[in-house]
A = this chain, B = another copy of it.
Amino acid sequence: YNHRVVDSISSSTASTSSSSPTRGTPIRKSLQCAVCGDVALGKHYGVNACNGCKGFFRRSIWKNRTYACRHGGKCLVAKEQRNACRSCRLTRCLDVGMNPRAVQGDTVEDPEWDEEAMPETLSISTQTDALKVKKKSHTSLFTLDIKKEQIIDNLRAIYARTDPEEFWKLTYPGTYDFRYAFHNTKVVSPRTPLTPTAERIATLNDVVADFRRAFVLFVDILKSIDQLRDVQEDDKMKIAKSRFAAFYWWLCSTWSAKAGCNGVCYSNGSYHPASISDMPKSEGKHGVRIDYSGVSQKSLENLVEPLRRMELSDEERIVGAVMVILADPVPNVSTKTEKILAEARDFYLELLGYCIKLPEEQQGIRVSTMVLLLASIMELVHLTTDNIQLSDVLHVIDLGDWSQELRDHRYRRQF
């Protein structure tokens, strides 16, 4: 998606007829860096730029640098002294049109996890030039905005992702253990488009399909959370097992709030009306029994109603979903994992603030309001967990384990 088409000017441009065409062939009308005047080898981030300015701009964007000029911002930026004032150099980069969004985030992520006070030689070396980025540094305030945008874009894309149409009807009969399902989500559900439009009453099949589709979405998101990549496998499974239900209810309720339907809205365009008595109540052919009456109906309302009033933006909904996943501590994981989770939690909390487009002093309130809703979600989770035959719905075995962990989780919370 890079490789901006942009040019359109390219050819010709030269116009500045090469004053002195050096001898025959070489041509390559020597370009000039729009920033410093040095020789440019081509376009970089949208403008002709020399290697130095190219690298300088990329590094500045990666870390979210903000420099200050000591001379009133009037420094000349030319080849010989381009390194004299970073502020003016960066300003000029932007002025001549360098596009920060053209900087990608590619490549291997940082190792990140050393930390331990080990001055030890043994510097593993490796690692790319750049990406230390985070590290102990001032994590809080100045994490890169570009990086944030990328993460949000990425999440957005995950929601939009669909499998090729010919797979939409495909089902994989049989049961699989959780770990297998986690790594081969296609056995649970294909990635059909997510269209929570509440156009028709849900059938039991809709509910089941939605639940399974949500699981795939959940796994996709979980896998995209950078910080969790290095969590050990079994802890990752524990996280997945213990957070899916919460995630699912977040999806349902935010979609319901958005669609404005009176009931539970599903991803495939159907919805489950509230307070209608003809809803399928028990013993579906898939064994789904969701008790929406009584307390849990009330709980759902407790969630949907505030959400409706908040009118979440898409970004908030998306990042909020990640927060739901990370919000609660996961029982029985290693301390290292706990630490990673806490870090991720902080990061996404900040990201959540970032995507609230409000004056800074109001951001905190809105974030808090959203986080408060997590309590409602957890209540829903606990109320419904036992009533949903997860194993039947997802066709995932190993549920003895899974539901056990869900249960552990609940009990722990109750005390």
**Chain A contacts to B: CB under 8 angstroms:** 1-2, 4-13, 31-32, 34, 37, 48, 70-72, 74-76, 78-81, 83-85, 104, 106-109, 150, 153-154, 156-164, 172, 174, 179, 183, 193-197, 199, 220, 223-224, 229-230, 233, 255, 258, 269, 314, 317-318
- Interface pair B194/A80, CB less than 8 Å apart: no
Bound Cα distance A193, B15 (Å): 13
Given contacts A84-B106, A106-B84, contact A163 B195 (CB under 8 A): no
Query: Given A223-B75, A224-B76: A159 and B107 within 8 A (CB)?
Result: no
Contact of A12 among B106, B157, B174, B230 (CB under 8 A): B157
Given contacts A74-B183, A83-B104, 13 further A-B contacts (CB under 8 A): A2-B197, A8-B314, A12-B153, A12-B157, A37-B163, A76-B220, A76-B223, A76-B224, A80-B150, A80-B157, A81-B154, A84-B106, A174-B179
Determine the main DSSP class of A at the interface with B: loop
Asked if residues A314 and B84 are in contact (CB atoms below 8 Å), the reply is no
Smallest CB–CB gap between A193 and chain B, Å?
Answer: 7
Say how many copies of this protein the assembly contains: 2
Complex contact B80–A109 (CB within 8 A): no
> Measured between alpha carbons, how far is A196 from B194 in the docked complex, in Å?
55
B157, A13: Cβ atoms closer than 8 Å: yes
Question: Could you tell me the distance between the alpha carbons of A183 and B74 in the complex, rounded to whole angstroms?
Answer: 7
